[in-house]
Chain A
Amino acid sequence: MTNNTKNIMIVGVGGQGSLLASKLLGKLLSNEGYDVKVSEVHGMSQRGGSVVTYVRYGDKVYSPIIDKGEADFIVSFEKLEALRYAPYLKKGGKIIVNTQEIDPMPVITGAAEYPHESLEHLAALGVDIDAIDALTPALAAGSSKATNIVLMGRLSKSLDIDKEKWLAALRESVAPKFVEMNEKAFELGRA
């Protein structure tokens, strides 16, 4: 991997707002003067399927995607998705995960079991797991849709960038009428 490039993956379930989170990160890191690449998925994958967004930043970024063993951070909007994408984590990287469980269709139809203990199993493998219930603070901020920003608040504690700059990028990323709710969600995630 070239030079000092850092890799953040956002994973979750289609419809959970990963595009807004990546938009926020893209703005924040561009404002910080980094070369940034963001790669996302559209179309078929968005219909409640597993979705993944790559955010890469550094002096000079070439590839838009993140591969197995490369992610410094994985922010997972749902518990099972953390398990799915754990192999993408770099040695020494960290998974920030929302403990909310959203059953995929094979679990709903009874063809598969939801792996409830997966975070414990990952931790046993030496993976650095930061698990939070992001849904409750999101609801406290005003909407279940704000879980994405709660998790960005949590991520902000691990990146060496001023809180004010996060909030400025957040204000640039959301419609004016949602600014207050998202600021609250961010603060609750960062708390």
Chain B
Amino acid sequence: MKKLMLGNEAVARGLLEAGCSVVSSYPGTPSTEITEFAAKYDGIYCEWAPNEKVACEVAFGASLSGSRAACCMKHVGLNVAADPLFTLSYTGVGGGLVVCVADDPGMHSSQNEQDSRHYAIAAKLPMVEPSDSAEAKDFVKVAFELSEKYDTPVIFRTCTRIAHSQCAVELEEPLTPVKKEYVKNPQKYIMAPANAIRKHPVVEARGEALVEYAETCALNRVEIAEGSELGIITSGTCYQYVKELYGDSVSVLKLGLVNPLPEKLIRDFAQKCKRVVVIEELDPVIENHCKTLGIEVDGKNIFPICGEFSQSLIAKVMGLEAREFVTPEESAPVRPPVMCAGCPHRGLFYVLAKKKVTVLGDIGCYTLGSAAPLNAIDSVLCMGASVSGLHGFNKASGADAEKKTVAVIGDSTFMHSGMTGLANIAYNGTNSTVIIVDNSITGMTGHQQNPTTGYNIKGDPATKIDLEALCHALGINRVRVVDPYDLKATEKAIVEELAADEPSVIISRRPCALLKYVKAKPSLVIDPEKCRTCKACMKLGCPAISIKGGKAVIDATLCVGCGICQQLCAFGAIGGGNND
């Protein structure tokens, strides 16, 4: 039976068909739906871990016990999971272990454009890369076989265009998960120096064996076009663009195992072609390998390193005929993502902007507080950096900075890697003010549960970690909760905690307005007779409010009656809804 499947769903199906028993992940676009789809299968235990390092270690534990296991993350999540990953390369596996990572060329939803293939090289791990959903499912199964045969974790790499594209996938019978018997084996699993010293040469030998495998494995495929002088070496989604452009008219070496790369296979392919071009997004990994082999290729001398490829980008670089298209004279105003109408983050950022507070931000929906008209954020680096960065900022700048600088971090991000930074604030002593924006869900990635929500991945009740108690336990005495829909109370809390002579945490608590259990109030209405067009309400950057015919108006299809704009109107022009 065939089914149209998102790449991420196909990966999940591959996990099922491979008999994978345990999946632990942290959400991150574009990888999130792998674990969400996997959680729908009864045969796989799935969970959202607090972060990727935990997820990877959970998968390690399951593998150690003899079961097939996986963890899934976005590319920057692999940075967090890198610590266990590098030494897992030495221990090897019990049951097969697959680490799924989704890169984001073009940065649709990411803070950088890193190329995960470098991790495979640095950690000396095999990396498999499919070019569409159908391959994604099949390659997951191959990845588990490789993992067990070569006693190694296998990295499974996708990118946005694989993860979030659908094509037909042939469904096959799932394997019944097999659990090997757990056998204590300290020399294999205790990576203390004496054992690690013995293990390193094993890792090197494994690498050589994998190169041998790469020469002949079915993951790598040569498509020779008789009479073609041009040969293209490519992998992943770029293969699809190449086929779209050239069909079967050029020779193609399609690599499905992108680490280690074959040598003889590439040499033989290059010999059959007059010109060899390497077409790969992001860094010149395949290209540099070819050059190391002494093979002359074109690559990043003609193709960009930055951004995503497409069939027309390749056509342009390769000198093929471009398509005609219309170019309207007037430009379309950009439409950046915005905080939703009724977003609880809006009230908080409005107050922070009004008080001209320096804000170290973090990763999540609330990163949008950086956008106009609020412009309320000064820095965003990575998960958790707001809290640790605030401490460094305040240490370097002294008491004055402490009175006007805050960190803003979400509930899920705080559990991911904000806690350790907060412990540092308490332990090493700055009078820092950390604001946890607790919207009771992991928002940006599409509503995943986390340890503070009280529910697990299946929506079943789970232990709910008490943020107030947690902050107290991390050494913070001043912990207070405010409702960001209440601007006055929010301002009072910020002013008082910034002034305090000890570290403090403000929990800005209000569930995401898009959560199903959050009932919208009736839309507010602006009385045009009373509106003086002072535009005070426009400072909120609410997508439901605009100026039409010289007066502010509220779009009733968007407004959820949060009432923040009412608190800003000095003329009482905003009414309707109910004000409880």
Contacts and interface: CB of A to CB of B under 8 A. Distances in A.
Interface of A: 1-2, 13-15, 26-27, 30, 35-50, 61-65, 67-70, 80-81, 83-84, 86-91, 102-115, 118, 121-122, 125-127, 144
Contact of B335 (A36, A65, A105, A110): A105
30 contacts: A15-B340, A27-B4, A36-B166, A37-B166, A37-B167, A38-B165, A43-B30, A43-B108, A43-B444, A44-B109, A44-B337, A47-B365, A47-B368, A47-B444, A48-B335, A49-B338, A64-B167, A65-B165, A67-B311, A80-B335, A86-B328, A89-B326, A106-B334, A108-B546, A109-B373, A109-B541, A113-B333, A118-B330, A122-B328, A125-B326
Interface residues of B, number: 57
B543 A105 contact: yes
Interface of B: 2, 4, 29-30, 32-33, 108-109, 132, 161, 164-168, 237, 240-241, 243-244, 247, 310-312, 322-330, 332-340, 365, 368, 371-373, 444-446, 538, 541, 543, 545-547, 557
Contact of B241 (A63, A90, A107, A113): A63
A104 B166 CA distance: 29
A127 B326 contact: yes
Contacts of A48: 335, 337-340, 543
Contact of A63 (B240, B328, B335, B545): B240
A42 B32 contact: yes
Contact of A45 (B109, B243, B323): B109
Given A80-B332, A105-B371, A122-B328, A46 B337 contact: yes
Contacts of A109: 372-373, 538, 541
Nearest to A5: B244
Contacts of B244: 1-2, 62-63
A30 B333 contact: no
Contacts, number: 193
Interface centre among A41, A45, A48, A68 (most CB of B within 10 A): A48
Contacts of B340: 15, 47-48
B541 A91 contact: no
Contact of B546 (A45, A89, A103): A103
Contact of A41 (B32, B164, B324): B164
A61 B167 contact: yes
Nearest to B372: A109
A105 B547 CA distance: 12
Contact of A105 (B132, B237, B338): B338
A41 B243 contact: no
A62 B314 CA distance: 14
A68 B365 contact: no
A69 B328 CA distance: 13
Contact of B29 (A2, A27, A43): A43
Nearest to B107: A44
B312 A43 contact: no
A50 B546 CA distance: 18
B323 A68 contact: yes
Nearest to B163: A42
Contacts of B547: 108, 110
Given A47-B338, A47-B339, A125-B328, A41 B108 contact: yes
A144 to B, nearest CB: 5
A47 to B, nearest CB: 4
B446 A42 contact: yes
A42 B29 CA distance: 7
Contacts of A104: 333-336
A108 B545 contact: yes
B310 A63 contact: yes
A43 B325 CA distance: 29
Contacts of A118: 328, 330, 332
B134 to A, nearest CB: 11
Contacts of A27: 4
Contacts of B334: 50, 104, 106, 112
A46 B339 CA distance: 10
A105 B375 CA distance: 13
A68 B327 CA distance: 10
